[in-house]
Structure 1
């Protein structure tokens, strides 16, 4: 036997639940960094829903949320360089959807997953291949900033028609074949050895030049010394250094030759007087 009050309570609860479901279906929330795309019976309505609470018709209208914040796509693309070397370039691309064009992007391309697979990745691949083909493999390393700027410009040009903005492009890595990497290493070693040999040669030349300068200076000093020192000056220097003691061994003439010369010099000066 059913209690009338209980039946009414159950019926009232069901009615409230249905009402809540219907009411909740009338509202949709778009979060920060998102834009809502309103669809009626699956057809995209013009315009976008900004962040906040919005009304919609339950079971008739739905809302797709599109992320308009900066997103990152990183891909490793293998391409042939100008000298026909296989180069794998890892590129990280930061991009975002123009908020006002979220409805157009969803209608013509789809959600973010479809956008990455259909548009972003092919654009990165095409750009890397196009730019890499204009450089020798080794030049990709030495002109890294220039290569990055050209890849970025190429990606921007390819994504602009799809209402996408490229915030930045970075090359995170270049990968070459093991044979080419070994050849580059050997070349660098050879260059370092050549630079060291050139340094040693320059150092030896400087030392040789210094020795030549020193030899010339010594020769010039000897020449000047010979021109300025006379026999009389030599004798005067010898007398100045003599301590007044005669050596034990003297010459056959009975006097030291130098003293004899000095005596002769004195006699000559006396006769002149």
Structure 2
């Protein structure tokens, strides 16, 4: 074999090797591969198929696009939305989502963009519109004091809008920030309400304590009245039972047998009560 033939074969093998390297790739389980045709009248619109594993393709007529199917976290640039009445609120959202398996071809067919481009344009618009529409239905005070309800409505809109585009919503952090002047007014209002509640509680507590003291004093007074009435009643009954006969019997029971005496002219004389006829 001549040197020329060796060179030709070497070039051919090298060319085939380069073609082989550039015409195969692999799609792992955490991604969804999409084989897109470069030729034909539709140029990739209809000639799209989902592929997995090792893929062989002609780089001159087709290419492989890959979309991850695991959770994606996108921290969007802050933007402002208007509440009812025109007050502006700052939103600094962070979205967690993922591509629904089997929807990669539809996503590419609809947008023909790589995922970073879809996030920075399509998904950002979806997020912004969801916050804008919901915020416009809230008054400034209710938006601040009912953030849970506000975010629940936003999440509902995002879940539907992302689902329509082949993505699954997981969660979002709003980082809602009201204007400083509004926040100061709301803080002052909340402080006044808390002070009023504390004062009402204090008044109610003192009133309850006073009522307890009055009840206690009334109870003591009534107890004394009842005790005095009982003692008076007892004395009354006792007086009624002290008849002359009973007194004489009690005197006899206590007599020691000696008659009382008195001094008359230096002598002692016994006092004897003579019966009166």
Q: TM (normalized to structure 2)? A: 0.72
The aligned residue for residue 77 of structure 1 is 79
Q: CA deviation at 1:52?
A: 0.7
Q: What's 1:249 paired with?
A: none
Q: Secondary structure at the match of 1:204?
A: helix
The answer to whether the 8 Å contact 2:151/2:174 transfers is no
Contact map agreement 2:98 2:169 (CA 8 A) in 1: yes
CA contact (8 A) 1:91 1:169 kept: no
Task: State whether residues 35 and 51 of structure 2, in contact with CA within 8 Å, keep that contact through their aligned partners in structure 1.
Answer: no
Structure 1 unmatched ranges of 5 or more: 237-265
| Cα RMSD after superposing both structures | 3.4
Do residues 144 (structure 1) and 144 (structure 2) align? no
Q: Would the aligned equivalents of 2:34 and 2:65 in 1 still touch at CA under 8 Å? A: yes
Q: 2:21: which partner in 1?
A: 24
CA pair 55-196 structure 1, distance change in 2 beyond 3 A: same
Structure 1 equivalent of residue 98 of structure 2: 96
Q: Is 2:247 aligned against 1:269?
A: yes
Aligned 8 A contact 2:32 2:69 in 1: yes
Structure in which a larger fraction of residues adopt helix: 1
Residue 93 of structure 2: SS of its match in structure 1?
strand
CA-CA distance at 1:154 after TM superposition? 1.5
Cross-structure match for 2:108 = 106
Long gaps (5+) in structure 2: 239-243, 252-277
Measured after TM superposition, the shift of residue 70 of structure 1 is 2.8
How far 1:13 moved relative to its partner? 4.1
Residue aligning to 1:53: 54
**Partner deviation per Cα, 1:50-84 (whole Å, 9 max, x = no partner):** 22112212433222222333323333331111243
CA pair 271-74 structure 1, distance change in 2 beyond 3 A = same
CA distance in 1, matches of 2:217, 2:162: 75
2:130 matches 1:127: yes
Q: Which of 190, 200, 212 in structure 2 is aligned with 1:210?
A: 212
CA contact (8 A) 1:81 1:87 kept: yes
> Is this contact kept in 2: 1:34–1:50, CA < 8 A?
no
- Corresponding residue for 1:66? 67
Superposition TM-score, scaled by structure 1 size: 0.73
1:105-254 maps to which residues of 2 (within 5 A)? 105-109=107-111, 110-162=113-165, 164-230=166-232
Q: Quick check: which has more Rg, 1 or 2?
A: 2
Q: In 2, Cα distance between the equivalents of 1:89 and 1:269?
A: 103
Report the count of equivalent residues.
240
